[in-house]
């Protein structure tokens, strides 16, 4: 359940866009801005959440703002017989690992790491490769954020107009 895909329409898209710009807004205010009935907004929101299109409204913590100014992408090569899951478990224990994916191509896992500074990044990477299931790590440091993570344009482009 929830793993299906949802086809958005214009109202859904406007709703998400509006919530994106003014997140703490209420359902009533949303209905006013969108010029629809309050119940409609409630129903749409419920549906989007129920179907998994919207995961949640969690506070978006900015790592850089709480002292983790260095972002890096690390490609890991793993010892196959250990399996991805075991390695994933190891990575999950390290708070600085913000996400991890298995990937195609050279390297087996790509993960996003943050650290307080370059020297601190070294510590984190040492911690990662300290696990015997990991053979090697290739580190790429992010210098500047050209496009911060966003989904708004995607939402806008993804609905088929009524």
Partner DNA sequence: ATCTGTGCTGGTCAACCTGTGCAATCCGTA
Partner DNA sequence: TACGGATTGCACAGGTTGACCAGCACAGAT
Helix (H) or strand (E) holding 109: strand 109-115
Nearer to DNA, 39 or 153 (CB): 39
**Given 11, 34, 88, 137, the residue binding a second copy (CB under 8 A):** 88
Q: Distance of alpha carbon 134 from its chain centroid, rounded?
A: 24
Please give the residues from 5 up to 44 whose contact with DNA meets the rule CB under 7 A: 11, 24, 26-29, 35-40, 42-44
Please give the residues from 42 up to 101 whose contact with DNA meets the rule CB under 7 A: 42-44
Rounded to whole angstroms, how far apart are CA atoms 136 and 145?
26
- Please report how close the Cβ of residue 99 comes to a second copy at its closest, in angstroms: 4
Please give the residues from 19 up to 58 whose contact with a second copy meets the rule CB under 8 A: 19-20, 23-24, 48, 51-58
Q: Write the binding mask 93 to 132 for a second copy: x where contact by CB under 8 A, - elsewhere.
A: -xxxxxxxxxxxx-x-xxxx-x------------------
Task: Report which of 99, 96, 79, 95 is spatially closest to residue 87, judged by C-alpha positions.
Answer: 79
**Given 1, 5, 35, 162, the residue binding a second copy (CB under 8 A):** 5
User: Is residue 129 helix, strand or coil?
Assistant: helix
Helix (H) or strand (E) holding 73: strand 70-78
Q: What are the structure tokens assigned to 101, written together?
A: 């994916």
């Amino acid at each position: 359940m929830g793993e299906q895909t949802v086809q958005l329409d214009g109202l859904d898209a406007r709703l998400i866009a509006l919530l994106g710009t003014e997140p703490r807004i209420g359902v009533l205010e949303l209905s006013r801005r969108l010029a629809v009935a309050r119940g409609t907004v409630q129903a749409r929101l419920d549906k989007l959440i129920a179907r998994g299109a919207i995961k949640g409204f969690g506070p978006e913590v900015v790592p850089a703002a709480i002292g983790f100014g260095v972002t890096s992408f690390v490609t890991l090569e793993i010892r196959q017989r250990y399996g991805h899951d075991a390695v994933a478990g190891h990575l999950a224990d390290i708070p600085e690992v913000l996400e991890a994916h298995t990937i195609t191509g050279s390297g087996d896992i790509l993960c996003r790491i943050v650290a307080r500074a370059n020297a601190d990044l070294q510590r984190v990477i040492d911690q990662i490769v300290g696990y015997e299931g990991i053979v090697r790590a290739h580190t790429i440091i992010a210098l500047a954020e050209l496009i911060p993570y966003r989904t708004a344009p995607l939402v806008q482009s993804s609905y088929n107009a009524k």
